[in-house]
Amino acid sequence: MATAVLAAMALTLLLPDDLRLAPAWVLPSVEGLLLLTLIAGDPGRIDRRSVALRAVSIALVCVLALGAVWSTVQLIDDILHNGKETASATSLLQTGANVWVGTVLAFSLLYFDLDGGGPAARVQRMPAHPALAFPQQLSPELAPADWRPRYVDYLYLALTNATAFSPTDVMPLAPWAKITMAVQSLVSLLILGLVVARAVNVLT
């Protein structure tokens, strides 16, 4: 999870200035400070239940999601108005890839933090009625008795949802999960569709 946050911070630094929500150093600094607070408050495994740490975790995810949404909106606007950031095939593909990967990371962390009350709550007890049903929950005989979804499971969910534009092996059951996955699918479809269309236009 910490590696994903660091990767999202790096992607923010690689984005053109026009696609950032704030100057290059602002979002990575805020995200880094929140991440350090989480690590200091709960080093090692994420298993300490605390209202303060939960608030910090949600704040971190919100900052990441806000930055990803802002960059997506600005990228779409730049493509639709033939902006300078997407004027060449190289810059278009680089910028589009950075924004797309950033949204995947943001949504993966969103799923990770919201499902089952958060990672610390899932360590203590898995919910009887999950918001996201993984194959190991639908077919318990395929998993160890103490199986818990880890961050990599949510990263896989975000990646497959962003490429298939629909659920694959993880089923959304709660309304918030359905809405969030639907929003991610639409965002991914917009980014990939417009980037491909713009790339064809630029190359021809």
pTM: 0.88
The predicted model gives 178-187 an average pLDDT of 94
| Predicted pLDDT at 134 | 92
User: pLDDT at residue 90 above 70?
Assistant: yes
User: pLDDT at residue 41 above 90?
Assistant: no
Name the average pLDDT for the chain. Answer: 86
Domain count, the chain: 1
pLDDT band of residue 204 (cuts 50, 70, 90) is low
Q: According to the 3-state scheme, what is the secondary structure of the chain?
A: CHHHHHHHHHHHHHCCHHHCCCCCCHHHHHHHHHHHHHHHHCCCCCCCCCHHHHHHHHHHHHHHHHHHHHHHHHHHHHHHCCCHHHCCHHHHHHHHHHHHHHHHHHHHHHHHHHHHHCHHHHHHCCCCCCCEECHHHHCHHHCCCCCCCCHHHHHHHHHHHHHHCCCCCCEECCHHHHHHHHHHHHHHHHHHHHHHHHHHHHHC
| Predicted pLDDT at 47 | 62
Q: Which domain holds residue 50?
A: 2-203
Render pLDDT for 51-88 as a digit per residue (tens, 0 to 9): 888 888 899 999 998 989 898 888 888 888 877 777 77
pLDDT band of residue 45 (cuts 50, 70, 90) is low
Comparing 121 with 67, the larger pLDDT belongs to 67
User: pLDDT at residue 46 above 80?
Assistant: no
pLDDT band of residue 161 (cuts 50, 70, 90) is very high
